[in-house]
Amino acid sequence: MVQVFRKDHGFQVDHIGLAVPDTRQGVEWMAAETDARVHLKEALPSNWFWSGVLPIGSQSFLEVIGPNPNWSKFHPLRAFLSELTGPTLMFWYVSVDSLDAFTALAKSFNLPMRKDEDANLDNTNPGRSAYRRGHLGPGFITERPNVIEWVRHVQLECDQAPQCRLTGFELAHPDA
C-alpha cells in the first residue's frame, strides 16, 4: 500500500508552483494579495529559474517561480515564464513516502507514470534537500499530478509557522 502524506490541514498537496513573468514583481504581488512575506533568496547563477517560498501549512508551501534574470542560456520553461502576462499555475506536487511504490500502484491501474531521472539526489551536500519525483499521466505539468518523495528535507527559513493556510485546492479542465 502507498502512503500519501496527510498534512495537518487535511490535504495531500506538498507544494504548488505559481509561475510569474518576473520573480520580484510576483513576490510583491503575492505580498499585496495575502499580506504574507514570501521568502526570496538571491537567484543561483546555475538555475534557469528564480523562486520564492511561502509556507501554506505543515511542510507545504507555495512556490512563486519566475525566470532568473542572470541566466543567459536558452531554456524552454524560462522562455515560457517570460511570456506570461500574470500569475499562472505551473505545477502541483503530492508527497508520497515511496515513489517506487506509487509508480507500481499507478501501473496497476494502467496509468502512465514517468519518473524524472534528473531529480535532486545530490548526497554530497547535506545542507540541501534531496528528492525523487515523477509525473502521472500525459500532458503538461500544470494538467497532471506531480509526485515527490523527499529523501532528505532540509528545513528552510520559511518552514516555521505558516503565514497563510491552504484551505482548498481544485482543478478543472473541460476535457476531464
* Segment 111-162, tens digit of pLDDT: 888 887 655 666 566 666 778 888 888 766 677 788 888 877 665 555 555 6
**Is the pLDDT score of 102 beyond 80?**
yes
Checking DSSP bridges between strand 60-67 and strand 49-57, what pairing results, if any?
Answer: antiparallel
**Beta-carbon neighbour count of residue 14 at 10 Å?**
25
Name the least confident of 26-30, 40-44, 150-154.
150-154
Note the pTM of the prediction, 2 decimals: 0.79
Q: Which of these, 96, 99, 155, 151, lies nearest to 123 by C-alpha position? A: 151
**Is the pLDDT score of 26 beyond 80?**
yes
| Pairwise pLDDT comparison (129 vs 43), residue with the higher score | 43
pLDDT reported for residue 51:
93
Residue bearing cell 497563510: 164
pLDDT reported for residue 9:
45
**Is the pLDDT score of 11 beyond 60?**
no
Any idea what DSSP says for residue 43? P
Strand order in the sheet with 13-19: 39-40, 49-57, 60-67, 13-19, 88-95, 146-152, 130-136, 113-115
CA dihedral over 39, 41, 43, 48, signed as positive or negative = negative
Could you write out the three-class secondary structure of 69-136? CCCCCCCHHHHHHHCCCCCEEEEEEEEECCHHHHHHHHHHCCCCEEECCCCCCCCCCCCCCEEEEEEE
pLDDT reported for residue 121:
62
Any idea what DSSP says for residue 41? P
3-state DSSP: the chain helix, strand, coil percent, rounded to 5? 20, 30, 50
Q: Which of these, 164, 53, 149, lies nearest to 94 by C-alpha position? A: 149
pLDDT reported for residue 6:
52
Helix (H, G, I), strand (E, B) or coil at 49: strand
Cell of 99: 515513489
